[in-house]
Amino acid sequence: MNVALNKAAVNHPGTHSQFTATNAVDGNTGPWSSATCSHTTPGSAENPAWWRVDLGEPYRISGIKIYNRERVGKLFGI
């Protein structure tokens, strides 16, 4: 069960135009080239990049599934 589906999501310090934070919780895991992922602008040591979803209420979470961009995942062995 995806408790994050279509919930409010934000990221910092910013986002790349079509790769908004809400893309990460829309249920679409299609190819990166279709702008289906979230992508923050680069952070720094003083201002690190982050992403957050508000589930709206407490849940007992037993697992988290993260989809990475295919070509990046292959580079890093993910």
Location of structure tokens 């080239």: 33
Range in 1-15, 40-54, 64-78 with the lowest mean pLDDT: 64-78
**Tokens of residue 60, six digits:** 């007992």
Query: Is residue 13's pLDDT more than 70?
Result: yes
- Give 35's contacts (C-beta < 8 A, 6+ positions apart): 18, 19, 23
Higher pLDDT, 8 or 11: 8
According to the model, what pLDDT value does residue 32 have? 66
Give 25-54 pLDDT, tens digit per residue. Answer: 998 877 766 777 787 777 778 888 888 999
Whole-angstrom Cα distance, residue 13 to residue 20? Answer: 12
pTM exceeds 0.85:
no
